[in-house]
Amino acid sequence: MVTAVITGASSGLGKEYIEAIIAQYPSVDAFWLVARRKELLREIAEAHPDKTIAAISLDLSKEESIDKFEQLLKENNPEIKVLVNNAGYGKCDDFFASNRRSQTGMVDLNCRALTGVTRLCLPFMLDDSLVLNIASIASFAPTPRMSVYSATKAYVLALSKALHDELRPRGIKVLAVCPGPMNTDFWTVANVPEGKSRLIDKLPRVDPKEVAEGSLRAAKRGKLVYTNSLFYKVYRLLAKLLPHGFLMEFTEI
């Protein structure tokens, strides 16, 4: 069966990708939805009775979960058309006073798990298939008080650019998705309550539904990086032109 694999699929942007893929890729019959909260994945599956949906409860920050995912691939041999690496989180803290596990956990999930899942899925991917790696506008320049998060997303951006070139001869298109702030659970997990950040409260929000739909179209066209909203496209350009030491005066959260 032609399959889409989505990590971090239980809510927010990951959930929006399900609807976007159904609309733009009617040939996709099956979905592998990977997240920790199995009850939410089951609700999604019940909402789409016409699709074969596997609710896969894994904590991808743990190496044994990556091993379980590898075993599932070998046992089921799916024909993967779309891979969306959406699992990830951020934490807003002064690095010196932060919790060590929360900081290294970001590296484990945002970087190591994304890399592992991508590598494991590639042998099962069809010609003209897509890999969408969810980065962030934080990948464009360092973000004080979200230093590790922005560093992990810079990794995702660099990896995606390299794989875009490396995998093109194999018929696999790779896109780095770099959205601005969205109204999702991300900010609750990140510990950035409304009214407490001098930066985040002033930035325009982007619609997760539009990000999912627009990035999927951009990936099909073979684009390298996707950022929606003119405001954030301008920031992406400025991050290329201006010294990061200067930009960090404005990016601190």
Of the residues 17, 149, 226, 235, only one is catalytic, namely 149
Concatenating the DSSP letter of every residue in the chain gives -EEEEEES-SSHHHHHHHHHHHHH-TT--EEEEEES-HHHHHHHHHH-TTSEEEEEE--TTSHHHHHHHHHHHHHH--EEEEEEE-------S-GGGS-HHHHHHHIIIIIIIHHHHHHHHGGGEEEEEEEEEE--GGGSS--TTSHHHHHHHHHHHHHHHHHHHHSGGGTEEEEEE----BSSTHHHHTT--TTS-TTGGGSPPB-HHHHHHHHHHHHHTT-SEE--SHHHHHHHHHHHHS-HHHHHHHH--
The helix/strand/coil state of 59 is coil
Please say if 149 is a catalytic residue: yes
Active site residues: 149
